[in-house]
Amino acid sequence: MSGPGTPAGPTPEPAAKRAGRWDAVVVGGGIAGLSAAWELARAGLAPLLIEARGYTGGLVAGAEIAGVPMDLGAEGFALRGAGDGVFPVAQMAEELGLAVRAPQGRPRLFLPPLEGTGAWSLHRFPAQALLGIPADPLAADVVDIIGQEAAHRAAADRELPAAVGTDPQAPGDLASFVSARMGPGVLERLVRPIVAGIHTADPSLLAADAIAPGLRRETARLGSLAAAVESRLGTRSASRSASVEGGMLALTGALREAIEAAGGTVATRTGAQWMRREAGAWSLGIAATGRGATPSDEPVPVAPEEVVRTGRVVLACSAGAALRLLTGAGLDTEVPIARGAPIARLIMVLRAPGLDGEPVGSGLLVAPGQAPVGARALTHLSVKWPWIGRGLRQEHGPGIHALRLSYGAGGPQLAAALEDVAVLTGVRLGPEAVIEHKLVRWDGTLPPATPEHRERVARLEESVAGLEGLAVTGAWVAGTGIAAVVGHARRAGTRLAGDRFGGDEIGAP
Residue 272 is predicted with a pLDDT of 97
Residue 199 is predicted with a pLDDT of 81
How many whole angstroms separate alpha carbon 310 and alpha carbon 48? 10
Is the pLDDT at 390 greater than 60, yes or no? yes
4 domain residue, yes or no: no
Q: What single letter denotes the amino acid at residue 169?
A: Q
Q: Do 422 and 493 lie in a common domain?
A: no
Task: Of 200, 196, 464, 209, give the one whose Cα is nearest residue 335.
Answer: 464
Is residue 282 a contact partner of residue 275, using CB atoms and an 8 Å limit? yes
Is the pLDDT at 362 greater than 80, yes or no? yes
Q: How many Cβ atoms from other residues are within 10 Å of residue 204's Cβ?
A: 16
Q: Which of the listed residues 200, 233, 266 is the one where a domain comes to its end?
A: 233
Q: What is the average pLDDT across 218-240?
A: 81
Is residue 82 a contact partner of residue 300, using CB atoms and an 8 Å limit? no
Listed range (129-133, 298-302, 328-332, 399-403) with the worst mean pLDDT: 328-332
pTM for this model (two decimals)? 0.87
Task: Of 269, 165, 267, give the one whose Cα is nearest residue 220.
Answer: 165
238 domain residue, yes or no: no
Q: What is the average pLDDT across 86-110?
A: 92
CB neighbour burial string for 267-294, b if at least 16 within 10 angstroms, e if fewer: bbbbbbbebebeeebbbbbbbbbeeeee
Residue 384 belongs to domain with CATH number: 3.90.660.20
Is residue 12 a contact partner of residue 287, using CB atoms and an 8 Å limit? no
Taking only the tens place, the pLDDT of each residue in 449-466 is 677 777 888 888 999 988
How many whole angstroms separate alpha carbon 493 and alpha carbon 489? 6
Taking only the tens place, the pLDDT of each residue in 124-138 is 999 999 999 999 999
Size of the chain, expressed as the number of residues it contains = 509
Is the pLDDT at 306 greater than 80, yes or no? yes
Q: Do 220 and 355 lie in a common domain?
A: no
Residue 504 is predicted with a pLDDT of 35
Q: What is the average pLDDT across 101-105?
A: 93
Is residue 481 a contact partner of residue 324, using CB atoms and an 8 Å limit? no
* DSSP secondary structure code for residue 205 in this structure: G
195 domain residue, yes or no: yes
Angle at 381 between CA 5 and CA 135, to 5 degrees: 130
Task: Of 378, 361, 375, 448, give the one whose Cα is nearest residue 410.
Answer: 375
**pLDDT band at residue 340 using 50, 70 and 90 as cut-offs:** low
Task: Of 109, 105, 130, 106, give the one whose Cα is nearest residue 193.
Answer: 109
How many whole angstroms separate alpha carbon 302 and alpha carbon 345? 31
Q: Do 135 and 270 lie in a common domain?
A: no
Provide the residue range defining the domain that includes 132: 126-233
How many whole angstroms separate alpha carbon 471 and alpha carbon 393? 46
Taking only the tens place, the pLDDT of each residue in 241-275 is 899 999 999 999 999 999 999 999 999 999 999 99
Q: What is the average pLDDT across 168-181?
A: 95
Is the pLDDT at 473 greater than 60, yes or no? yes
Taking only the tens place, the pLDDT of each residue in 185-200 is 999 999 999 998 888 7
Taking only the tens place, the pLDDT of each residue in 47-68 is 999 999 999 999 898 999 999 9
Domains of the chain: total: 3
Instruction: Indicate the SS3 state at residue 350.
Output: strand
Q: Do 283 and 359 lie in a common domain?
A: no
Is residue 106 a contact partner of residue 100, using CB atoms and an 8 Å limit? no
165 domain residue, yes or no: yes
Task: Of 428, 348, 434, 355, give the one whose Cα is nearest residue 398.
Answer: 355
How many whole angstroms separate alpha carbon 161 and alpha carbon 383? 43
Q: Do 328 and 367 lie in a common domain?
A: no
Residue 8 is predicted with a pLDDT of 38
How many whole angstroms separate alpha carbon 391 and alpha carbon 421? 22
71 domain residue, yes or no: no
87 domain residue, yes or no: no
Angle at 100 between CA 347 and CA 247, to 5 degrees: 20
List, in sequence order, every residue forming a beta bridge with 255; answer none if it has no partner: none
Give the HSE-up count for residue 65: Cα atoms under 13 Å, Cβ half-sphere. Answer: 30
Q: Do 412 and 346 lie in a common domain?
A: yes
Torsion of CA 186, 188, 194, 199, to 10 degrees: 120
Q: What percent of the chain has pLDDT over 90?
A: 69
Max avg pLDDT among 386-400, 404-418, 487-501: 386-400
Residue 445 is predicted with a pLDDT of 63
What is the distance of C-alpha 396 from the center of its chain? 31
- Cα torsion angle, 210, 38, 336, 329, sign: negative
Residue 444 is predicted with a pLDDT of 60
Residue 202 belongs to domain with CATH number: 1.10.3110.10
Q: Do 143 and 226 lie in a common domain?
A: yes
Is the pLDDT at 239 greater than 50, yes or no? no
Q: Do 217 and 154 lie in a common domain?
A: yes
Task: Of 488, 448, 451, give the one whose Cα is nearest residue 198.
Answer: 448
Taking only the tens place, the pLDDT of each residue in 4-41 is 334 434 444 444 345 689 999 999 999 999 999 999 99
110 domain residue, yes or no: no
Indicate the average pLDDT of the chain. 88
Give me the phi and psi of 101, to 5 degrees please.
Answer: -125, 140
Instruction: Indicate the SS3 state at residue 278.
Output: strand
List, in sequence order, every residue forming a beta bridge with 2; answer none if it has no partner: 441
Q: Do 319 and 391 lie in a common domain?
A: no
Is residue 70 a contact partner of residue 402, using CB atoms and an 8 Å limit? yes
Residue 17 is predicted with a pLDDT of 46
Residue 14 is predicted with a pLDDT of 40
In angstroms, the first-to-last Cα distance of the chain is: 34
Task: Of 228, 177, 185, give the one whose Cα is nearest residue 203.
Answer: 177
Is the pLDDT at 509 greater than 50, yes or no? no
84 domain residue, yes or no: no
Q: Do 359 and 388 lie in a common domain?
A: yes
Q: Which helix (H) or strand (E) holds 185?
A: helix 184-186
* Secondary structure of 130-163 as H, E, C letters: ECCEECCCCCHHHHHHHCHHHHHHHHHHHHCCCC
Give me the phi and psi of 157, to 5 degrees please.
Answer: -50, -35
Residue 507 is predicted with a pLDDT of 34
Residue 334 belongs to domain with CATH number: 3.50.50.60
Q: Do 274 and 423 lie in a common domain?
A: no
Q: Do 345 and 307 lie in a common domain?
A: no
Listed range (156-160, 221-225, 232-236) with the worst mean pLDDT: 232-236
Q: Give the burial class of 429: count Cβ atoms within 10 A of its Cβ; 0-12 exposed, 13-18 middle, 19 or more buried.
A: buried
Is the pLDDT at 177 greater than 60, yes or no? yes
